[in-house]
Each structure stands twice: as structure tokens, then as C-alpha cells.
Structure 1
Amino acid sequence: MTSIRFFHAADLHLDSPFKGVTSMPDHQLKTLRESTFKAFQTLIQTAVQEKPDFVLIVGDIYDGEDRSLRAQHKFQEGMETLNLHQIPVFICYGNHDHLSGKWTRFQLPKNVHVFPEQVEKVKLQIRQHDVYINGFSYKERHVKDSMIARYEDAVEKDSYNIGMLHGSLAGDTTHAVYSPFTKDQLISKNYDYWALGHIHKRQILNLEPPIVYPGNIQSRHRNEKGTKGFYDVTLEKGNTQLTFIPTSTITYDQITCSCNEVVHANEWFEIIDSAIENFRNENGAGVVEIHLTDVDADTLSMLEATPMEEWLSMVRETQELKDPYIWIHSITMDVSEALEMESSGLTEHVISVMDTWDTKQWKEIVSDVYQHPRLSRYMENLTDDDYESIHLEARSLIQKELIGKE
């Protein structure tokens, strides 16, 4: 059979608010808040240049159920562009942009097919071959039941069958669990490709048939590290080629810097600047966390002589006039193994107790902040990933503070 070619994207989250970076300079914050739109434009422009047979967008096109007017307008323009180039688009809505939300409606052009709340099977012909695309949109935010049984089994051997599914692998709790499935359930349908959405980490769950998460097209916070984008898929029976196409305008990541034998501030700044420059050359603009390793007693003594906020401020200042811009989100550290061995039982006891806390206990720890009558309205609800980040940062801080004083 002749191969077919399509783009597989998901989780655009257009007009994401990018909370938690308010200390960034205004002109850079504006660039950050435009990044989802620029990533989307990269998807559209690449489609125009490469002319795939069709494009799949698997849920969470918008960041919220109310779908901002601007986000809808930008998406409409992108679809009109693909319509001019006669590129069909198949979309399904996910938990963030479900069908029960309230928004001002836009009429999408004729090249766009929107899947309804019930699983639907759509047929198209590409170079005399039948292609069947199966999918559904979320009726409401919380779709807890498995939907796999509602997908028809593929029986047409001389055709291509593709499933679109915005959902979670059963047992994976990295995101809220919606429309759960198992790999065996998907494989049993005999489809040639499963186009997944919802999980923002790019991953291939199975090779034959391909079961694929492309991840989101633009990181929105520091827990979504690395380059983001979509897959350019060439599908042929038993021979699928997946090419990842980057779209990130700004890359979130961690930069690791060894502080081995560093005892003077100028040495430290040189190491940090070199690491940031290497990141800039490889990734362009970014929001990064500096993670210090090999921190011995001498380095720790040097760093403790000045508040960490001042070190952070100075590093940010060194990057102000450089382009592309790198925003330093935070500085964390690991103390050296030798220094850890010198730590007393107090440090180990505090950390061991903290390591036993579950999410409920962490919620109690931060409850004073989140129940504050003035502050709470400006704070976003914490996810399990956020609590894990708090845990790791608290662990690092305790190691630094207690070991340095014992």
C-alpha cells in the first residue's frame, strides 16, 4: 500500500496565562505569554511548507473551558490558512476545552472536522486508499470512564485506521486520570496508529502499532522541561516513520553546574555563565533552573556568606542584555557526598521524616499560605508535581542549612 503522511499534535493550550513568573521583566513576560501562539504558528507554517495529507490535533487546543476570544481567533486564522492550502484537519476537544464550556462561537472552515461527544468514525480517501479516523470530544471536564469499548474494531485490511484519544494510560498518575486505557486495549482494535493527547511528556508507548504522545507544543512551567513540538508521521503497513518537529519558542529546563574546587565568587560566575551560554546556543530562549552539584564545604561556605536571593539576582543581571534571553528561575544545589557523610543524625532524621509525608500532609504544611485571605486568590492550585518539587527543594534547603551549621 502507498504510505500516507500526517501531523500529530496535541495540547496546544493556546493563551496559557503562565502563572508564577511575575518577577520576570515585562517585555520578556510578554514574549513568554505569546509563546503558545508562536509555537502554533510554527505548526501551521510547517504544514503549509510540507503539505501533509492531513493534521490531527488531539485535545486541549485551548487552556480553559471558556476559550479566550483571542485564542479562538488565532486558531481560526490557522485553520483558514490550512483550508487555503487544502489540508484537512481533525480535532477533538479534551478536558481543558470540553464541549460544556461557555465561549463565543467561531465557525471553523470546511477543512476542519470536529469530533462530537460520542465516538465517531470518519472516512476519507488518500491516493485511492481508504483512511478511517476515529475519535471523540469531551462532553465535560471529567471523563473518568474508559471509552475504548466505543471505538469500532478495524476490519478493513486494505485501509488505514487511526484512533484519536485524549486520555491517560491506566495507572499513570502524572496527570489527572481521564478516559483511561491500557496498551492491550488499544492494540486489540487493530488500528495502524493511535494518536494520543493529554500527557505533556513526549513518549512512544508502543512501536507496532505506534501508540504515541507527542507532548505539548510549548512548555508552560518548569515541570515541563525540554524541547516541545509535534510528530510528522509517515504511515505504511508495518513501517511507520516518526519525525519530531520542534516548536518551542521558549525552553524550560535545568542546567547542571559542577562546583568542584570552586572557592571564589568569580570562578562560580564564570562556570554559571558558560553553562547558560551553552544552553543558549543549543536551545535559544529559555526559562531555566541552575542546579549546583559537587558543593563541598568551601563552596558552601562561600555561598552562605551572601543570601541566595542575591546570587540569583546577580546571575539574572548578567543575562539582561544577552539575546536570546534566558530567565533564571531559581538556583538549587546538591551537597557533595563527603559533606553529607559529615552531617549529624539531626539532618538525616529531619529529611527521613519529611520523605514519609504524602500529598495530604504537604497540603497541611502549605495551608497557611493557601488560606491567607489576600494571597490565596492570586495563587494557582498545586498539582502532585508541584508538591514533589516543594519536597525536593525543601530537602535541598535542609541539607544546605543544617549541614552548614553543624
Structure 2
Amino acid sequence: MKFVHAADLHIDSPLRGLTRYEGAPVERARRATREAFERVVALCLTEQAQFLVLAGDVFDGDWKDIGTGLYFVSQLARLRETACRVLLLRGNHDFELTKQLTYAEHVFEFGAAGSKRGKYTHLFEAEGVAFHGVSYAQKKVDKSLLPLYAPPVAGLLNVGVLHTNATGSRDHAAYAPCTVSELVAHGYDYWALGHVHSHAVLHEDPWVVYPGNTQGRSVREVGPKGCVLVESSGDRALDVRFMPTDTMRYFVEEVLLGPEDDTADLYEKVRHRLDDVVARAENSLAAVRLEIKGSCRAHAAIVAERESILGQIRADTIDRGGDVWLEKVKLSTSPAASIEALRAAKGLVAELLTWTDRLRGEDADTERLGLLRALEPLKKKLGRELEELEIVVEDEAWFAGVLDRAEALLAERLTSGAND
């Protein structure tokens, strides 16, 4: 007997943090949660699983329209091809929504806590299995639902389906709290959990398993996402395998630049890192957050031409053909020559950096007025060209940014001879 255990599909949930830019694969991202569920259904058909267990949060809250619900029903209808039945439990995100749908006879929904309607246990004696589950009656469930779960049925494989934070994960609300030891003590052979979005095997013999969500939804949910395929033999021993279903996979990657690296080296290292990410994405669209770090010669150009460099990185990514989406690029470099070391040294650079210190110090207002007076002759010579630079010395944030760029350029341009 085989069954597929999935949870936290969050169908049509918007994927967060994805920057839209020209050439970005927006449509692929928009469809990612649906395509992940389609892979779950395809796995059931390919493996000829007798059951699909959905352990809560099929949906993500209110629908924009009924289309989301109808899509779900249409996918469940595909499972009739192999007579695969569906065990459906409502979680905190969809405790009301699934009640708006009418299901076919091959879909068995678990009753909600406190409700007189619906069953907590569904028996399938021909296949030798009993499924036990309690759906949420409201969004917030602060108490354990375990007291509502029936004792195991003798002679059958007993599968408990529960939407819970059994690990005390801080990333998820502490709904339907329980412990792994409590689950183990209940006497079931397999606990099909939902709610926590990371795949985890919390216990074996009996099995206590989170499949994780079927599709990552933000950069906080990195790595492969999917479901679990469970196969039992005659002696009720279980084979449990994680099966990826995500069509878009999140990565957080670091690109480290060395002291001699310039912008050409930066672009080359980014390309190599993205090649590596694509190989690890296993034919999924890779959504990548890049952080470029290190003390390097490229820093001065990064400070002076930040938007241009970001644009070039994105252009190079688009040229790859759509296998990568840059969720964000963080430029966190520093000068190859330490600003603090240059301040402590003697010479022209240290003198100039002392001047920038004064513009940040206690007498900054006086120093800035002096700077404005010093710029007057330049204003007269350049006229409108200088006005177009939008110099706003009184703006603290603007001025701090200018000083940072000036220091980086000083450190790079006036010490570059030592690096050549």
C-alpha cells in the first residue's frame, strides 16, 4: 500500500520579495504553487498511490475568486484515473475555505474539532489502513487536539493526520501544541504532520514526519520543497521518501571578492555562482538572493556606480535564458585598503580622511557651511551643470552617502598604485 503525504500547499499564495524587472519570469513565479501541486498529483498517478493525505493549509486564506477552489477540485478529479482517494484536513489558513467546496466521493474530509458533523477516523479495511485526523474549527487553536484522536485500530496501519507545531518552531504559530513523545505514545504507526514548512523526520518507528511545504514562498524558505511518499509492506514496515515538487527554488548565496578583484572579476564570480545554483536547482527556476562581500578594488566602482553595476548583474542574469530570478542583490563590499588603517597612517590620504571626519564630527554644521562657501566659485563656473547634480548638503542621509562614496574613492584611487 502506498500513500503520498503533503501539506501546506498554499495554492495561489503570492510569492514574496520577488523584484519585477524587465525580462523576469513573472508568470512562472505566479504559477509556482499550482505547478507544485500538479507535481504532487502526478506523483500519485505515477506511483499508483492508493491515498493522498493533505495535512492542512491547502489554501492561503481568502481567495481572490472561486477559481482557486475550482482549480483544486479539478486536480483532485485527476486522481480518479487510478482510484486514488484523498484524505483532507483543514488547517489554520483554510479552516473555512474548504467548506465552500463540494467534493466527489473519493475525497474524505476530517471533521472539525467540536463539530457534530464529519468523522475523525476513516477506515479502509481492504487496504488495511485507518486514517485519523481533526480539522481546525477556527484559525487559532491554542490547545492540543490529541485528546480527540481515537485509539489505534487493532490489525490496521494507523495514520494520524495533524496540523501542529510539534517542534516549537519560532517561524510558525504554536497552534495545536503537542510534543513528539506524546505523538509516539499515542500508538499510531505514522504521523502525517503539517504546519511547519521544513521537511523533517522527527521520529522513526513510529514515524513522525513533516513533509514541509510543496513550494517555497520566500527567501526564508530555502532549499528543496516537496512531499513524502510512504510505502508499507505486509508487516507494516514503512519506507518513507522525500520527493521534491517545487518548480521554483530559493537560494541565499554569498559571492566573496578578494583585494585584487575589480568589477570584471565581480561579474565573473557572480556568473560562476549562478552556474552552481542552477545545477543545485534540479530543473526548478532558481530564485536567488545574492550578497556580494569582501574588501576589494571593485568597491570604489560599486560606491560610485551602484545602480549601473546592479543593472549589469541583472542583464547578465537575463541573458542566461530564464533559469534564474534574482530576488535581491546586496552589495556589502569594503575598500581593499582599510579606511581605518589609512586614517591612522601619515600622508595625503590620511589628511583628506581627517577632513571627511570633520564633516561628520561635533562641528559638522560649521564645516558644511564652510564647504558650501567653498563651492560658490565652482557654482559660478559650472552654473546649471552643478545644479543638475542636486547637491543638498543639508540632507543628512544624502550627505552621509556622499561622504561614504568619497572615502571609498579616495581609498581606491589614491592607493591603487600599491596594488598594481
Which TM class, normalised by the smaller chain length?
0.7 to 0.9
State yes or no: 1:80 paired with 2:77.
yes
State yes or no: 1:198 paired with 2:195.
yes
State yes or no: 1:111 paired with 2:106.
yes
1:45 and 1:146 mapped to 2: Cα distance?
34
Which residue matches 2:303?
Answer: 304
2:13 and 2:264 mapped to 1: Cα distance?
38
**Code of the aligned partner of 1:122:** H
2:302 and 2:333 mapped to 1: Cα distance?
12
Which residue matches 2:148?
Answer: 150
Of 250-259 and 43-52, more deviation after overlay is shown by 250-259
Equivalence map 1:165-244=2 (5 Å):
165-169=162-166, 171-236=168-233, 239-244=237-242
Which residue matches 1:134?
Answer: 132
Residues 56 and 90 in structure 1, CA contact (< 8 A), matched pair in contact too: yes
Residues 267 and 313 in structure 2, CA contact (< 8 A), matched pair in contact too: yes
2:121 and 2:276 mapped to 1: Cα distance?
48
Residues 24 and 327 in structure 1, CA contact (< 8 A), matched pair in contact too: no
Aligned with 1:256 (options 248, 254, 257): 254
Q: Displacement, 1:282?
A: 3.0
Which residue matches 2:36?
Answer: 39
Measured against aligned partners, the alpha-carbon deviations of 1:70-103 in whole angstroms (never above 9, x if no partner) come to: 221111111111023200110101111112x5x8
SS in 2 for 1:117: coil
Of 263-272 and 163-172, more deviation after overlay is shown by 163-172
Which residue matches 1:314?
Answer: 312
Residues 5 and 54 in structure 1, CA contact (< 8 A), matched pair in contact too: yes
Equivalence map 1:82-101=2 (5 Å):
82-99=79-96, 101=97
2:51 and 2:90 mapped to 1: Cα distance?
17
Of 280-289 and 109-118, more deviation after overlay is shown by 280-289
Percent of pairs identical after alignment? 26
1:145 and 1:230 mapped to 2: Cα distance?
27
1:7 and 1:125 mapped to 2: Cα distance?
18
SS in 2 for 1:178: coil
Aligned CA-pair RMSD: 3.0
1:26 and 1:82 mapped to 2: Cα distance?
36
**Code of the aligned partner of 1:296:** S
Aligned with 2:272 (options 274, 279, 299): 274
SS in 1 for 2:158: strand
Q: Displacement, 1:332?
A: 3.1
**Code of the aligned partner of 2:20:** S
Q: Compared with structure 1, are the counterparts of its residues 49 and 208 closer, same or farther at alpha carbon in structure 2 (3 Å cutoff)?
A: same
Which residue matches 2:292?
Answer: 292
Q: Compared with structure 1, are the counterparts of its residues 212 and 315 closer, same or farther at alpha carbon in structure 2 (3 Å cutoff)?
A: same
Question: TM-score, normalized by length of structure 1?
Answer: 0.76
**Code of the aligned partner of 1:55:** L
Equivalence map 1:318-357=2 (5 Å):
318-332=316-330
Residues 15 and 68 in structure 1, CA contact (< 8 A), matched pair in contact too: no
2:337 and 2:207 mapped to 1: Cα distance?
47
Q: Compared with structure 1, are the counterparts of its residues 180 and 342 closer, same or farther at alpha carbon in structure 2 (3 Å cutoff)?
A: farther
SS in 2 for 1:296: strand
Q: Which ranges in structure 2 are unaligned for 5 or more consecutive residues?
A: 114-118, 344-400, 412-420
Aligned residues: 341
Residues 258 and 296 in structure 2, CA contact (< 8 A), matched pair in contact too: no
Q: Compared with structure 1, are the counterparts of its residues 104 and 133 closer, same or farther at alpha carbon in structure 2 (3 Å cutoff)?
A: closer
2:62 and 2:206 mapped to 1: Cα distance?
33
SS in 1 for 2:270: helix
